[in-house]
Amino acid sequence: MEYLKGKKPEGCIFCRDSIRNDDLVLYEGKSCYVIMNKYPYASGHLLVVPFRHISDIGETSTEEKNELMSLMDSSIDILRKAMDPQGFNVGMNLGAAAGAGVDSHIHLHIVPRWIGDTNYATVVGDTRFIPEDVYETRDVLKPYFEHMEEV
């Protein structure tokens, strides 16, 4: 709620030379990187992001498309090993009308899911429960990404 109700920061939260939170970055490839979502839908919510500040999937190069998919695959594998989820939501919200919170810089969501991980509070109370702090989850996942072979 802090982010949703608060004043949005100036700059891009995904660009290295702007206001990106480097403490949440898990892996940097050649054209894309993996970062924890600071305001996750569920524990382990990751984002795969191109380094270039682009707002349309059509602007991605072949290298960026390939690395987005490769990092998605590696991230899912790591989440399976580290957190044992029962499923995943994976996708992109392209444009504000599609629900993109940051529509100026494309990013791919990877959300691990467990049976029963949502409840009535989200629907009636406009509240979400996250069982683990994002920095604790980062500490669990970081060693897996540090030992990941280059994609």
Q: Is 86 inside any structural domain?
A: yes
Task: Return the pLDDT at 135.
Answer: 95
Confidence (pLDDT) at 41: 86
Distance of CA 149 to the CA centre of its chain: 20
Q: Is 112 inside a domain boundary?
A: yes
pLDDT, tens digit, for every residue of 61-74? 999 999 999 999 99
Distance CA 32, CA 14 (A): 11
- Report the distance separating Cα 26 and Cα 75, nearest Å: 10
pTM: 0.87
Specify the pLDDT at position 10: 83
CA–CA–CA angle 57, 52, 33 (5° rounding):
90
Query: Strands, E, within 17-75: which ranges?
Result: 25-28, 32-36, 46-50
Residue 86 pLDDT exceeds 60: yes
Q: Would you say residue 77 lies in a domain?
A: yes
Catalytic-role residue among 45, 105, 107, 109:
107
Within a domain: 92:
yes
Task: Provide the pairing of β-strand 46-50 with 108-113.
Answer: antiparallel
Residue 25 maps to a domain: yes
What SS3 class is residue 1?
Answer: coil
- Return the structure tokens found at 97: 């009308």
Q: Per the structure, how many domains does the chain have?
A: 1
Per the structure, the complete domain to which residue 77 belongs is given by 2-146
105: Cα separation from own chain's centroid: 13
- Clarify whether 45 is annotated catalytic: no
Question: Strands 87-91 and 46-50, how do they pair?
Answer: unpaired
More confident residue, 4 or 41: 41
Query: What pLDDT, on the 0 to 100 scale, is given for residue 1?
Result: 61
Please check whether residue 119 lies inside any domain of the structure.
yes
Domain-located, residue 151: no
Q: Reply yes or no on whether the pLDDT at 128 is more than 70.
A: no
Q: Which residues pair with 34 in a beta bridge?
A: 27, 48
The pLDDT confidence band at residue 134, using thresholds 50, 70 and 90, is very high
Average pLDDT of 99-127? Answer: 79
Q: What is the CATH number of the domain that holds 89?
A: 3.30.428.10
For residue 94, tell me if it sits in a domain.
yes
Report CA Rg, the chain.
Answer: 15
Residue 76, pLDDT score: 98
